[in-house]
Structure formats: structure tokens, C-alpha cells
Amino acid sequence: MTSSILPGQPQLAYRGEQLFSEDVSLAALAREHGTPLYVYSKASMLAALAAYQRGFAGRRVQICYAMKANSSLGVLQVFAQAGCGFDIVSGGELVRVLAAGAVPAQVIFSGVGKTRAEMKQALQAGIGCFNVESEAELDVLSEVAVALGLRAPVSLRVNPNVDPKTHPYISTGLKGNKFGIAHEEAVRAYRHAAGLPGLKVVGIDCHIGSQITEATPYLDAMDRVLDLVADIEAAGIAIHHIDFGGGLGINYNGDTPPAADALWSQLLAKLDARGYGQRQLMVEPGRSLVGNAGVCLTEVLYLKPGEQKNFCIVDAAMNDLPRPAMYQAYHQIVPVTPRHADDTLYDVVGPVCESGDWIGHDRTLAVQAGDLLAVLSAGAYCMSMASNYNSRGRAAEILVDGLQAHVIRQRETIEDQLRHETLVPR
């Protein structure tokens, strides 16, 4: 018998008494590769992408995967082969994505603090667009481009000042945020950009936040951005593409974000009604393409009963999976091989020496030391935010494709960590 555990994610299911990713047993993967171990389903990523592709059928659109969500080469390769463009935020991400087979012209470069070196690197690679976030950045980018004898394609990230109703650390489209150019200043900034010798205005973009679970903030942001497009074009500056950013949420714990196709049918109706339906469009989804495609497997090391709490100490920690510690984020935790025993209430915690090192609070589990747990919805912003805190090596990663399990990243060793460090000579 097969039973799926996350709605809409048939790739992750119990077959009898064992949790599988596609046709691969997670217990077998953990035995072979050790824990903590990230496992991603290729079919799940492609299904998430297909929802966007359905939503945009018949439109001129470039889907640029926001690779900060998960920048492992094997994951990037899946999206490159599926024809995606990419949204990058550093020179490092540029090198990675080109190594994974991205088409440079389909790469857009976001972020508030691009360095001159990164601008040069991206201009030389021939990327499609720089999403610029301030007038000061426009000046520097123009200078760098002129020095290379090039013109940089630019879009200005405008700040629509709408509340995405998400965690404050991941809302980005409000007035008090460091992101984007204020609505009121946008036309002036566009005039400035159009007058600079090293720039070529190509588009407009916005991104209002992440893990958004309602359509309204998107609809409001679209209205604000389209108002600006009208004003900018009235000033004689043509806008070739409109980029609506990323941000669509996923189901972590009963969250009910709209499906990408349903969201986009609403948004495209508005775009059509306002007469912009035939424009070249762009989106920058990250989490919604990979979040529910990944699990993190971890082994129970010890059970530690306490006076106030019982602790289930596992071998994955805040360095491997930082979202709970950073945002009090909720990730479901399920046994890889369920036991038929009484449930106990546990705090699932890692071995790092901090009280903030927890993976889940107040979870009901029937477990023993040596059991495997799967932390769900761990495909986005988990491995890509992993660190070496406590000198812990980063986890290995597996990409499952049907019956096959490809190692896309080997477990980091202590030798890897020490390679770039030196003792001071005496």
C-alpha cells in the first residue's frame, strides 16, 4: 500500500512500512550514504515547474529559478535542462549556474550590493539583465560597462510597498526594507538610468517577499508595478519585460498557498485587463520549485527524558537545517520506518551547543535511538544556508530520479574544512 504524506507530493510516500522518494527507499539511502542526508526528488521539482509552465501557457515568459533556494549543481542542472533561466545574487552563483549549463542570456542578477568585480564578471559572461536596486548602483554599473566597452541591460527593482503577510525577515516589498527603489522615486531613477552611457533599460522588476500564501499581495503589487510602467513609458522610456519576482509559498504545516497555475491565471487576467498581457514576462520562483522536493534524513542519537521536556537528540543540527533556528520555521518530522509503539512528546534537537539548535518543538513521535527521521519540505533554504558551525561538515546530497539515486554532493570532510586555513608561523 502506498500513502503520500504531503498533499500534492506523490513522490514522497510510505510503501508498506518504509518511506520512499520516488522508487528509492530512504532507509536504504541513509544506510549507504550516512546521515544527515539531503534527498531530492527530480520528479517533484519538475512537477512544481510544470505548474508554472501551465499557468503561463501561450505567454511570452522566462521562468528564472531563484537559485539561492538550492544552488547545488545537480539541482541547477535539472532546471537548466528543463529550459529555465536563473536569478542569481552573487558572482559565485554565476559560476555555479554556468557550470550547470545555464544559458547566460537567461540569467538575471538581483541583489542590493553587487560589487564592481561581480558586475564585470556578469557583463563579460553576457547575462540577460541586472536587476538594479539603487541610483548609486546604476552609476557604478554604467561605469563598469563603459570601461569594458559594453552596455549593461538593466531593470530597476521597484518597491511596491505592499505587505506580503509573511515572516518579517522574508518580507521585502515594504517601505522600511532595504530592497528596491521607492515607488515615488522610480520614474526619476528610470530617467537617470536612460541617460547613462553604459546602460540599456530593458525592464522593471519587483519582489515582495517569500513564503507568501495569498494571491492578494501579488495582485496589489502588480497594480502598483503596472502604474509605474505607464508612467515610465509616458516619460519616453520603453519597458520590454516585466518581472514579478518570486515568493510563492509552499505547504509546510497545513499552509494553503495558491497553486502556481491558479495564482498566475488570476494575475494574467489582471495583466490582460490592463492591456499588458502581451509583454515579455519574467518570474523568479525559488522555494515553490524545490521546497517540497527535498527531505533531510537524520538519525536519532539519544532520547533524553527531562523534567519539563523530553528531548530527541538527532544528528542533524542548526548548521545543516537553519530555518527553525533562524525563523522559528516549522518543518514536519516523520519516521522513515514507523514503529507501532506509544507516542511521546519530544523536542527534536541537534548536537550543536546552543539552545537555539532545534529542528522541531513538541513533536509526537514513537522512536528509539538508531531510528531514522525525515525532516520534510527541506529542499529550499536548508542546504543552501548550511554552515560549518561547530566544525561540522556539510551533509551529502542525493538526487532521486525514478529508481536511480545520484550522489550530487559528497559529505564534506574535516580535511575539506581545514584546506583553506593555516597556522601562523612561530
Give the residue numbers marked as catalytic.
Answer: 353
Q: Quote the least distance from Cβ 283 to ligand LLP, whole Å.
A: 9
Residues 6+ apart with CB under 8 A from 55: 260, 261, 262, 263, 264, 265, 268
Strand-pair partners of 182 = 159
Give the start-end residues of each E strand in 22-149: 24-25, 37-41, 61-66, 85-88, 107-109, 129-132
Distance between CA atoms of residues 269 and 273, nearest Å? 6
Q: Which is nearer to ligand LLP, 164 or 198 (CB)?
A: 164
DSSP state of 60: -
Q: Which is nearer to ligand LLP, 102 or 313 (CB)?
A: 102
Distance between CA atoms of residues 93 and 14, nearest Å? 36
Q: Which is nearer to ligand LLP, 110 or 142 (CB)?
A: 110
- Cell numbers that stand for 379 in this block: 529542499
Query: Residue 284 corresponds to which amino acid?
Result: E
Q: Which is nearer to ligand LLP, 299 or 319 (CB)?
A: 319
Q: Which residues bind ligand LLP (CB under 6 A)?
A: 66, 69, 87, 110, 170, 207, 210-211, 245-248, 284-288, 323, 327, 381
Q: Which is nearer to ligand LLP, 124 or 328 (CB)?
A: 328
Q: Quote the least distance from Cβ 369 to ligand LLP, whole Å.
A: 30
Q: Which is nearer to ligand LLP, 36 or 247 (CB)?
A: 247
Q: In angstroms, what CA-CA distances link 146 with 151, 152, 155, 196, 293?
A: 7, 9, 18, 10, 43
Q: Quote the least distance from Cβ 331 to ligand LLP, whole Å.
A: 11
Q: Quote the least distance from Cβ 285 to ligand LLP, whole Å.
A: 5
Task: Name the strand (E) or helix (H) holding 165.
Answer: none
Q: Quote the least distance from Cβ 249 to ligand LLP, whole Å.
A: 7
Distance between CA atoms of residues 424 and 107, nearest Å? 41
Instruction: Give the distance from CA 336 to its chain's centroid.
Output: 25
8 Å CB contact between 144 and 136: no
Q: Quote the least distance from Cβ 187 to ligand LLP, whole Å.
A: 21
- Cell numbers that stand for 343 in this block: 507516542
